[in-house]
């Protein structure tokens, strides 16, 4: 699922929700790395007053993903505990900010040590350096009974660890398989190893453990307009209240795009890395005969 932002140009079909010149952000699975994009009107949202184009481009995918995992699947409530892997990434920062909108939520976040100060200031209660420490042991020291919600973008053996870290009635939401990517080049051995260790569980074990396992991929929800719109409206309300705000690590012009993957793979970024280009969005709606 890609996201973009820009100005609306003349539409062949008049959309009652928008006017020519409106600044909008959009969700689309494909086709946004270009100057002119045609998108469904119901995947398009007005950019709030005061929000920059950079923030608008960083908001939809990261925050809708985090919001739906925490609140639709996780049913996050006061006094619960959450583990957020890659807490310094786009989804990680979004999830941390959303956790802080609920009273007395304890947030565990994994990130390299150089990013601990930043994620702590952002709301992570217990930062953990996954490179030098066993995050399972670190969590158990503070929360011996385990955690209420775990957001897992890693896959492989880490999903097994996450399931075992859940409290009774805990929820594991898996939304990626980052462990299959090792460095900047293809590593078939890493893929095979993590595929072999992919998590599977019998339904009877779920019953006996009183635990839930959920899978999430925003890209496959593109037909669920009502769900996405509800989440987006709630997020925009939180933005207007000053409770959430996308963090932009850096901006890259389209001419620099060949260097972009190397920077994102370096794990030096904090928050969202954005490619800058001028985009005109042609918003379309289905016409009725």
Sketch the domain layout of the chain as residue ranges: 21-281
Distance CA 94, CA 113 (A): 19
Please say if the pLDDT value at position 267 is more than 60. Answer: no
pLDDT in tens, 93-118: 999 999 999 999 999 999 999 999 99
- Residues 29-64 have pLDDT tens digits of 777 777 777 888 888 899 999 999 889 988 999 999
Tens digit of each residue's pLDDT (9 = 90 or more) over 129-145: 999 999 999 999 999 99
CATH number, domain 21-281, options 3.40.30.10, 3.90.1150.10, 3.40.50.720, 2.40.10.10: 3.40.50.720
Query: What residues form DSSP beta bridges with 215?
Result: 174
Q: Beta strands of the chain (E only): which ranges? A: 2-8, 23-28, 36-40, 44-46, 81-84, 106-110, 126-128, 147-152, 166-174, 212-215, 248-253, 272-276, 280-284
Give the global pTM: 0.82
Q: Cα dihedral sign for 270, 275, 279, 282?
A: negative
pLDDT tens-place string over residues 241-261? 999 999 887 776 666 666 655
Q: Is 80 helix (H, G, I), strand (E, B) or coil?
A: coil
Residues 174, 58, 86, 128: is their CA dihedral positive or negative? negative
Alpha-carbon separation of residue 170 from 85, 122, 149 (angstroms): 16, 24, 6
Residue of 115, 110, 192 whose CA lies nearest to 151: 110
Q: Give the pLDDT confidence of 160-215 residue by residue, as tens digits.
A: 999 999 999 999 999 998 887 765 566 677 777 766 667 788 889 999 999 999 99
Strand partners, 28: 2
Beta-strand pair 147-152/81-84: parallel
Nearest by Cα to 77 from 106, 105, 98, 107: 105
Mean pLDDT of 121-133: 96
């Amino acid at each position: 699922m890609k996201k973009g932002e820009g100005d609306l140009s003349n539409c062949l079909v008049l959309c009652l929700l928008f006017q020519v010149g409106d600044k909008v952000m959009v969700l689309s699975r494909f086709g946004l790395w270009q100057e002119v994009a045609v998108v469904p009107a119901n995947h398009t949202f007005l950019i709030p007053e005061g929000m920059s184009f950079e923030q608008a481009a960083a908001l939809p995918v990261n925050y809708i993903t985090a919001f739906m995992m925490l609140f639709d699947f996780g049913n996050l409530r006061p006094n619960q505990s959450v583990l957020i892997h890659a807490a310094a990434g786009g989804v990680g920062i979004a999830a941390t900010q959303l956790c802080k909108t609920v009273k007395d939520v304890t947030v565990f976040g994994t990130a390299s040590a150089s990013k601990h100060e930043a994620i702590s200031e952002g709301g992570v209660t217990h930062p953990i350096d996954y490179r030098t420490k066993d995050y399972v042991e670190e969590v158990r020291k503070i929360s011996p009974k385990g955690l209420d919600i775990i957001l897992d973008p890693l896959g492989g053996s880490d999903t097994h660890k996450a399931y075992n870290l859940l409290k009774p009635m805990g929820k594991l939401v898996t939304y990626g398989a980052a462990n299959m990517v090792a460095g900047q080049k293809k590593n078939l051995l890493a893929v095979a190893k993590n595929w072999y260790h992919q998590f599977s569980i019998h339904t009877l074990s779920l019953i006996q453990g009183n635990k839930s396992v959920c899978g999430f991929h925003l890209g496959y929800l593109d037909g669920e307009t009502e769900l996405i719109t509800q989440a987006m409206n709630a997020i925009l309300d939180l933005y207007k209240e000053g409770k959430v705000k996308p963090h932009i690590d850096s901006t890259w012009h389209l001419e620099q795009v060949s260097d972009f993957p190397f920077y994102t793979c370096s794990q030096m970024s904090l928050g969202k890395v954005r490619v800058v280009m001028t985009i005109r969005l042609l918003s379309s709606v289905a016409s009725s005969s």
